[in-house]
Chains A and B, each alone.
Chain A
Amino acid sequence: MRTKRIITKKLNRYWAPWLFAALVATALNDKAHADENTPRVDETDTDTDIVIPPVLRNEVAAVYPEQALAQRVEAEVILEIDIDETGMVEGVQVAVPAQPTGYGFDEAAVDAANLFEFEPAVQGGIPIPVRITYRTVFRLAQEPDAIETKSDSVSSVSDAAVNEPGADDGAPAADTARILNFKGTLKERGTRLPLAGVTVTIFTGDGNLAVGYEDVTDADGQFEFYNLAPGTWMLLAEPEGYFPLRTRDEVRENERTEATYFVERSDYNPYDVLVEGETVKKEISRKSLKTDVIERVPGTFGDVLTVVKNLPGVARTGATAGNIVVRGSSPEDTQVFVDGVEVPIIYHFGGLRSVIPLGMLDGLDFYPGNFSSEFGRATGGVVDVRLKLLKPEKFGGYVDVNLADSGVYLETPLGKKSAMAAAFRRSYIDGIINATVPDDASVNLITAPRYYDYQWLGSFRPNDDHEFTGFFFGSDDELKLLFENPADFSPDLTATSGSTSTSFYRTVLQHRYMPNSRFENVFKTSAGRNKIFVGLGDQVYLDLNTYVAQIYDRFSVGLSDSVRIAAGIDYLYSVADARIKFPDVAKEGEPGGRPDLSSIKYVESTDESNNSVGVFVQLESRLLKRWTVVPGVRFDYFSRVGQSSLAPRFNTRFALTDKWTIKGGVGVYHQEPAFDETSNVFGNPNLGLEKAMHYSAGFEWAPLEYLTLDVTGFFKEMDDLVSRTSETVSLNGEVSPLNFVNGGEGRVYGMELMLKHDFANNFNGWISYTLSRALRKDVGETEWRRFDFDQTHIFTMLGSYSLPRNWTIGFRWRIVTGSPSTPRIGAVYSVDDGFYEPVFGKPNSERLPTFHQADLRLDKRWIYDRWMLTAYLDVQNIYNSPNVTGYQYNYDSSRRRPRQGLPILPVIGVKGEF
């Protein structure tokens, strides 16, 4: 590189005739040109025939000298290569030796050049022997152990002084006479990333006077031209997938022209980065999504965890409900991890936004069931949010502004081995609501809903074997209210203010050691605090302050090419202070209604510690190349209930053909009851573990590389579910309510279907459908009843199409069976309390109307030289479907009217990336 040569490249249809003229002219003026630019060209015997230089057909990379590599020394060597009329190398001499000497650069370059093969030079149609100069560059690549030796290759021929045999081949005076007077850098517009390997053409003149040269950009996007005549030159570059660069530049006498050119991609498709290596599938129900797909799903505000609700097996919950209901399990039965670390909350304020911004993430894995023994303490599903592998090539980031909040994300490399990223986000819903709530409203907002979150991520890779990662993140939500007249809300309410706040932080340190492909160990430790407060003055409150620590280690060893064993330990410790003054709250299957503030219970505890330890081992074996078998077992001990569990799990996949795979799994899962359910006051401290058995079987069909159909049937049997009881217990002569027992049962069965179109032909999307029945049997009951979120049909269809000019259009449509609800069948007037006490019908004996909603999203990206701006309009519920989320009853429950969900809602946002 850094050379120029006579143009021989085929250009597009407009340019070809014109440049052909330039070529001919260049050729005809070859002698003059050589005199001007490459002074070492000797006179040939025939003035009328030009010499067509040889073309390198087989280039052999030079071996980087070991000592130089160890000491990280770089150099370049200029050679003179004699090529015979058959194109074979006759001899190689060092014209300009490497500096510094003594490392063996010259010898390495000569050895490699001796193995070159050329198309011979031609003069007058006859192959001739020639001598060329050739430069070999020894340059260390960015990775410490990787090296690259690069040569000027074919383009160096242009740089060559083409000599006749027998011509003076003395010192390379040509090189000392070369004057670099045009130097440029080619970068991608918007991202500022260098464009390597792009041919840059520079030409001037017209007709017979046309002269043109080429160079190819190096890894830094740089190109150079030497000895250009003063005047106006036209520069052309046409990289594949980019709009062409066409510009004019001046070359002045005794001056060097230097410039940076930004070339715009014809399509800044966000999915370009989605290409992933094929990994061995060992889970039978896992669904993986990348952030670039997530960001453009309509109706989700680009929120990573909201997208989960569009996957099969996940029930629809309210637009502002922050829970994930998986395969008929209660929300608390599904665990959410951030890179394997448990987090207490995943959403700000009931599902508005998740607590980690998209910039920090690589994507997520969702397991609706039959997850492997690596995951525990959950009987429902698992959502594992993956942090991104931090490898920024430059300082960059984004600023994201939308109607709910604004955030900033920055990342930067720190040398060649380290990198760092940081992010911060804050809402301004408080400002919007405070401005819109009328002065005479019955509720005043002191601190309207506001949230913020923050993250810091750092990584250090001293070599390929070790990787250290540090991650610090946290979140804080707060809402404070003033009531003008508390009795408007409940006759028993006397508090004139209410507030809720939730905050947490975690520090995570991780070390990954992978000395070879057969062994890997990941050690992770995390520590942090959760703080939750909900209160109505001094009348009712829950104040919970918990410190948590987690230690996790997982190693895997490849016993052979087809068998791998993985094992690990997962230890969780918590110590909590709690002050709780609360009435009983409705549990699953119980009608909501007004909390009974007249029977408030109180409990206070300090330094209450709990721990749980999990140990798992699993074998990952591939038999007969087509059959994957993953047996595993997990042991857990839970100190809060004082019980341990052993959970064997088995997953298998069998590839019938390249396109058809059948799969199945069975496993046992355990989890502790909720915190309040084991409380001395609110619950029953003698409760035991809840248990679930997961069975699933199905098939996958991949008719096209980008199209997959996944059909899975499932059955889940739940035992020992915590269920409310009216029984009492006598302790030390005192009779008290038992509150809860492990007597509930659950049964969920159904089928999930997902037809997924990965990004291809500019389209990305999926159709998911779940057919299911989720039932519960409470303690003492003989009949099964519907689960709170039993939704028979859940159909979601969504897609994004990448349009020209950096537009993207996205669409989502959902139709879901209405959730069960418990009707009020009357009311009884309470003389004591002075209001009507509702009488409820059979739990979950009726359903809300069918839900359906369409969302539409448009994205447009503008590209500037050093940054990009994306604006989007996301219209939720575009046909304003009047979906019913529940019913509002009158005073004596004799009449009701539907409570409607989200109306049509346009959301606008902008994101600037640099």
Chain B
Amino acid sequence: MMRTFSFKRSNVFAPVVVSLMMLCISVIPALSRADDLVKPSLKQGYYFALIPVGELVFVDSKENFGPWGSFGGQLRMGEALNHWIDLGISGGASYARGDSLQLVHGHFAMDATFKPTRFLALGFQAGMGFADFTRLQKGMDEVIGRFGATYGFTVAYDFFPGGKRDPYKSGGLAITPVAGVHLGPGEVTSVYSVFAGLSVAWWTGLPKSQLDLPVDQAF
């Protein structure tokens, strides 16, 4: 059976999103002035993170459902622009099943992370989401599919199990507890989720030519 998805619109988040964008446009430049050579740091270069998550999902449909327990995974990749900001993309999907309902939902979004301290990270996601919501019935399942805008907010704290801090090391493996909320496609069926997970991330670091190194380390 082919599942037909429909687009549902909501203006609920419009002012929020526009405000956030305006904020980014005005704040990111201020925080992202181009550095020349930078001191080596663990959160440098590109990152690739895999995050198994557990969720509490609320479904706002013709009837309200939840909270349900759910599980899923997210993938994030991007780059550290400087010690304030990371930019990248993220995607993920989760699955939940109850007695009479089944839900698969996910997102694909731009991902901006603000780092107020060295290891604390506040992430914002905005992009496209989907929710495939099935009411399990005898004989025929009722399927409601939704595409739409999705927004997310995450808090994370990085631990680098490499332990000993090498002042000339750039990049490394990070284990990061993550918690956040996601707001999914709206109107008739909206999906809100609160999730927590443990991210395993690899930071590639920067090449030597882009680091401020003493001469015995630089060549």
Taking Cβ atoms with an 8 Å cutoff, the residues of A that contact B are: 14-15, 18, 234, 243-248, 264, 266-267, 438, 761-763, 799, 801, 803-805, 807, 809, 811, 813, 852, 854, 856, 858, 860, 873, 875, 878-882, 900, 903-906
Contacts and interface: CB of A to CB of B under 8 A. Distances in A.
Contacts, number: 120
A248 B219 contact: yes
Contacts of B140: none
Contact of B128 (A248, A801, A858, A906): A906
A422 B194 CA distance: 53
B16 to A, nearest CB: 8
B135 interface: no
In the A-B complex, list the 3 residue pairs whose CB atoms are closest, starting with the nearest: A882-B9, A903-B7, A880-B149
Nearest to A812: B21
A879 B17 contact: yes
A266 B25 CA distance: 22
Interface of B is mostly: mixed
Which of B8, B14, B33, B212 has the most C-beta atoms of chain A within 10 angstroms of its own C-beta? B14
13 contacts: A234-B219, A246-B218, A246-B219, A762-B29, A801-B29, A803-B85, A854-B14, A858-B110, A878-B126, A879-B17, A880-B148, A903-B9, A906-B128
Nearest to B36: A266
Contacts of A880: 7-10, 148-149, 186
B8 to A, nearest CB: 8
A234 B85 CA distance: 34
Contacts of B61: none
Nearest to A860: B79
Given A14-B215, A762-B29, A804-B34, A438 B2 contact: yes
B17 A854 contact: yes
B82 interface: yes
A14 B36 CA distance: 14
Nearest to A807: B87
A24 to B, nearest CB: 16
Interface in B116-138: 126-128
Which of B18, B25, B89, B214 has the most C-beta atoms of chain A within 10 angstroms of its own C-beta? B25
Interface of B: 2, 7-11, 13-14, 17-18, 21, 24-25, 28-29, 32-37, 79-82, 85, 87, 89, 108, 110, 126-128, 147-149, 186, 208-210, 212-215, 218-219
A247 B13 CA distance: 52
B29 A14 contact: no
Contacts of A247: 219
B25 A811 contact: yes
Contact of A807 (B10, B35, B37, B81): B81
Contact of A881 (B14, B79, B210, B214): B14
A811 B21 contact: yes
Contacts of A243: 37, 209-210
Given A881-B9, A903-B147, A809 B219 contact: no
Contact of A763 (B8, B10, B29, B209): B29
A875 B7 contact: no
A854 B82 CA distance: 27
Given A804-B81, A878-B149, A880-B148, A873 B215 contact: no
A244 B147 CA distance: 47
A858 B87 contact: yes
A767 to B, nearest CB: 12
Given A811-B21, A878-B149, A906-B128, A805 B81 contact: yes
Contact of B147 (A245, A878, A904): A904
A236 B92 CA distance: 45
A763 B36 CA distance: 19
B212 A14 contact: yes
B59 to A, nearest CB: 18
A145 B40 CA distance: 51
